[in-house]
Amino acid sequence: MEWQSDILGPGFESCAFEAAGPDGVRRRATLVRFTRPAGPDTPDLRSAGPRRAVLFLHGWSDYFFNIELARFWDAQGFEFFALDMHNHGRSLQPGTHGGYVADLENYDAEIGTAAGMVAESGGAGPVQLALMGHSTGGLVAALWASRNPGAVSQLVLNSPWLEMHGSALVRRAAWTMVEPIARLRPEAVLRLPERGFYWRSISSSAEGEWTLDAAYRPPLAFPVRAAWLSAILAGQAKVARGLGIGVPVLVLLSAASENGMVWNEAMRRTDAVLDVNTIAARAMSLGRSVTVERIDGALHDVFLSRADVRSDAYRRLAQWIRGYAA
């Protein structure tokens, strides 16, 4: 592993690597780690008890940039890592389609490799690994945890994209329309309405507070391609059938959604991407021990909401960690 200084500056390092998917294709991913040294005023809780780490998976058309999230997990006694998956963020390559994947299982190899790198990068002894995912990354994380029992000790999902808007009927209808195109022209771009409302609510270039790299997190997201959407629908169908995840699962969601086609001020305090009521119901299909936290005023990424809202979200997450990760 060759760790380099990361774009987030002091305290962060990144390491690019390649992993071969089930189709034999080698894909580039990038692991990021938080490296804050312990000092007299910041005791290192990680030195007490078993070694614990968390691996974060970003959403679609996204990358890891939330320094505050890394510091939170560090304060809880966890080593923090984040993975920019292939065709995203730090792992984008010239001539490739941003955000594209034809099968969500193509992420498995890089997640597994990253988990191995986490285990090797710290001190001696086994590591208890928590997996955290946002939006599409939450769907990917849930499916990976289901396919790899025993690999993680806890699963934290931040507004995971577990189901389409409305109901499973919408998903099945979408599958009927998309699958023939995905089979014949997998990389075909689907002409869907473009909305930048969520980006507008978080970016400091608009009305939010977060500095985003437009190349890594474009305002209108990457083009939607047929095989990508087909892969999402197939993953959601697996969730609907039940994943049987055996470890504790926490699902964090906004209390409300606002999915209109024109901007309105409610989008500053709601999920402007997903149908949170549908997601809350579908979360019960994840496993035997699922906690759902609904957070008033939260955005699609609850940890990018305004300060008082994300403080509430962090308080709830810390409470759950104390209960399930002791």
Q: What tens digit of pLDDT does each residue of 204-229 get?
A: 999 899 999 999 999 988 999 999 99
Q: How far apart are the first and last CA of the chain?
A: 30
- Name the band, by pLDDT with cuts 50, 70 and 90, for residue 60: very high
Residue 123 has pLDDT above 70, yes or no: no
- Please give the angle made by the CA atoms of 83, 88 and 94, to the nearest 5 degrees: 130
List all residues 6 or more positions away from 269 whose beta carbon is below 8 Å from its beta carbon: 256, 296, 297, 298, 299, 305, 306, 309
Exposure on the CB side of residue 36, measured as CA atoms within 13 A: 23
Residue 167 has pLDDT above 80, yes or no: no
69-95 residue pLDDT tens? 999 999 999 999 999 999 999 999 998
- pTM score of the predicted model: 0.94
**What's the confidence (pLDDT) of residue 326?**
60
CATH numbers and ranges of domains, the chain: 4-37+48-325 (3.40.50.1820)
Distance CA(43)–CA(26), nearest Å, equals 40
Distance CA(139)–CA(234), nearest Å, equals 11
- Name the band, by pLDDT with cuts 50, 70 and 90, for residue 301: very high
Task: Determine phi and psi for 282, rounding to 5 degrees.
Answer: -70, -25
Task: Determine phi and psi for 51, rounding to 5 degrees.
Answer: -70, 130
**What's the confidence (pLDDT) of residue 244?**
96
